[in-house]
Structure 1
Amino acid sequence: MTVAITTPTGNVGRHVVRLVVQAGLRPRVLLRHPSALPSDVREYVDAVRVDQLDANSVVEATEGVDALYWVDPPTSLPDPLDGYRLATESLVAAVRTNGIRRVVFQSSGGAERRRGMGDIDGLALTETALDELGIDVTHLRCGYFFTNLLFDLDSILGGTLTTAMDVDRPLPWVAPEDIAAVATARLLSSDWHGRHVQAVHGPEDLSFREVAAVLGEVLDRSVTVRQVSDDDVRAELEGAGLTPQQVAAIVDMTAGIRDGFVPENPRDYTTTTPTPLAGWARTRLKAACDA
């Protein structure tokens, strides 16, 4: 079985690579810069240079592939949805040309709404395109990544967690390595067929106020949550030079999740994963604090 993995140096992809290698396979890893792979990984994988927005590049890189772990890559295009369209076209061309039988797609909670969710609308576009191919596909509807906290690390270490979300509304929070475990299990199993949606909700739903309390305990300092408005976020992003479409993709994603969204897949045994926020924070955030 030939397994291909996109974004193999990403927050989730690097764990997928390790798990697939530990399962006894030699995966094909697809990335723009193969030199970015850690040196201790290179001897266990076949690294292929690929531009996921170039259909010909993806088709060539996935020849002979049986199962594919796909993540739509971040882009710097003025309109993020144009990047999602190009990535989706590349994926569809590769599946059709190379007869790829199984795809595990890293999507997000909110994609089920199909529109009105900002950046997540691009993931919905990919989901829809995969569904139309009639292959075996699992969409991973992931919760809020723990690693998103790293974008606000300096502020957190200074005692403030900032968000435009409702600070008291619980959301599913998940460790990237837990997403990788579910992705790898789906990728390597041959016992499922057709279209599946697999939510990955983490161990528990947490509000931002509760997250701040957990971080404060782990870091042994006071961490308070500060709620800002969509207009505040919009002004900050515009000041950083983002295009109107890039700003809207971020602001509308937050608003879509915040304003009445309920995940299609409820929390149950199949959607709950084990890694707690406190354990992850001790490893990732406290190390940064102590450095």
Structure 2
Amino acid sequence: MRIAVTTPMGNVGQHLTTMLIRAGVRPLLLARSPEKIPQAVLDYADVVKADSTDAQQVTAATRGVDAIYWVDPSAVSIDPLAAYAEATRAIVDAVTTNGIGRVVFQSSVGAEKRHGVGEIDGLAATEVALDALEVDVTHLRCGYFFTNLLLDVEAVRQGCLRTVLPRNLPLSWVAPRDIAEVAALTLLNPLWRGHRVQALHGPQHLSWNEVADILSNQIGHRVQVERISDNEMREQYLAAGMPAEMADAILGMSTGLRDDFHPEQQRTPVTTTPTTLASWINDELVPAL
């Protein structure tokens, strides 16, 4: 079986690539910047240059592919949902033109709402488009990535994280490596058929207050969480250089999951993954501090 992986050096893709290699698969890696892929990986994988928002490039790159792990690449854009629409067209064209029979799609908790969740609306549109095809599709609806904390390293150092969410609101948090493990098992499992949804909620739901306590215990100084207004958060995004439309799309991912949202799939052995936030902090965040 020929398996393609998009964003192979991403938070999930880098783990998925090596897992497939260890399983005896020589994956086809679709990369916008192939030169960034380590030589150790290149010895066991095939690489083709392809931008996941370019339908012609993706279709050309995936000829002969049986299954694909698809990620809609996020982009700094004045119209982020248009960029997601381009990625959706790219995977739909590739699947239909090349007869790709199986797709595992990296979606997000919140996509089940379909609208009103900022950038996640783009993922929801991809789900809908893939479900309109007569191929086998699994949507992995992932929780909040542990690795998002790496974007707030300076705030962690200073001991103050900011959020627009209620500090005691439980949310699913998940390690990207665990997502990769489920993706690899799904790609290699020949038994499933049809259109599937599998949420990945991590080992336990965590509030921001609980995240702050875990951080404090692991890194050796107190970390607190401050709840700020939506407008204050938007101004922070703008100050960081985001276009206004992008700031709204990023903010919308939080606000859309804030008010009376309940995931379509609850916590079960199927949706629970093993890596704890504490162990991830020790392994990946502490070295970055």
TM-score interval for Structure 1 and Structure 2 normalised by the shorter chain: over 0.9
Q: How does 1:153-164 map to 2 (within 5 A)?
A: 153-164=153-164
C-alpha separation between the residues in 1 aligned to 2:242 and 2:285? 28
Give the 3-state SS of the residue equivalent to 2:184 in structure 1.
helix
C-alpha separation between the residues in 2 aligned to 1:7 and 1:243? 23
Matched residue type, 2:278: A
Give the 3-state SS of the residue equivalent to 1:257 in structure 2.
coil
Report what 1:226 is aligned to: 226
Checking the alignment, whether the CA contact within 8 Å between 2:172 and 2:206 is kept in structure 1 is: yes
Report what 2:45 is aligned to: 45
C-alpha separation between the residues in 2 aligned to 1:61 and 1:119? 27
C-alpha separation between the residues in 2 aligned to 1:275 and 1:208? 18
Report what 1:80 is aligned to: 80
Q: Percent identity?
A: 51
Give the 3-state SS of the residue equivalent to 1:197 in structure 2.
strand
Deviation at 1:278, TM superposition (A): 0.3
Please say if 1:178 is aligned against 2:178.
yes
Report what 1:280 is aligned to: 280
Report what 2:168 is aligned to: 168
Report what 1:215 is aligned to: 215
Matched residue type, 1:229: S
C-alpha separation between the residues in 2 aligned to 1:98 and 1:267? 36
Report what 1:3 is aligned to: 3
Deviation at 1:284, TM superposition (A): 1.1
Q: Which moved more, 1:161-170 or 1:105-114?
A: 161-170
Checking the alignment, whether the CA contact within 8 Å between 2:77 and 2:243 is kept in structure 1 is: no
C-alpha separation between the residues in 2 aligned to 1:166 and 1:69? 34
Checking the alignment, whether the CA contact within 8 Å between 2:20 and 2:184 is kept in structure 1 is: yes
C-alpha separation between the residues in 2 aligned to 1:203 and 1:53? 33
Checking the alignment, whether the CA contact within 8 Å between 1:9 and 1:37 is kept in structure 2 is: yes
Report what 2:30 is aligned to: 30
Aligned pairs, how many?
Answer: 289
Checking the alignment, whether the CA contact within 8 Å between 2:76 and 2:242 is kept in structure 1 is: no
C-alpha separation between the residues in 1 aligned to 2:136 and 2:117? 26
Q: Structure 2: state its 5+ residue gaps.
A: none
Give the 3-state SS of the residue equivalent to 1:258 in structure 2.
coil
Matched residue type, 2:154: D
Per-residue CA distance 1:68-116 (angstroms, 9 max, x = gap) = 0000012233110010000000000000000000000000000000000
C-alpha separation between the residues in 2 aligned to 1:74 and 1:110? 16
Report what 1:248 is aligned to: 248
Matched residue type, 1:256: G
Q: Structure 1: state its 5+ residue gaps.
A: none
- Stretches of 4+ aligned residues off by more than 6 angstroms: none
Q: Which moved more, 1:89-98 or 1:71-80?
A: 71-80
Report what 1:21 is aligned to: 21
Give the 3-state SS of the residue equivalent to 1:47 in structure 2.
strand
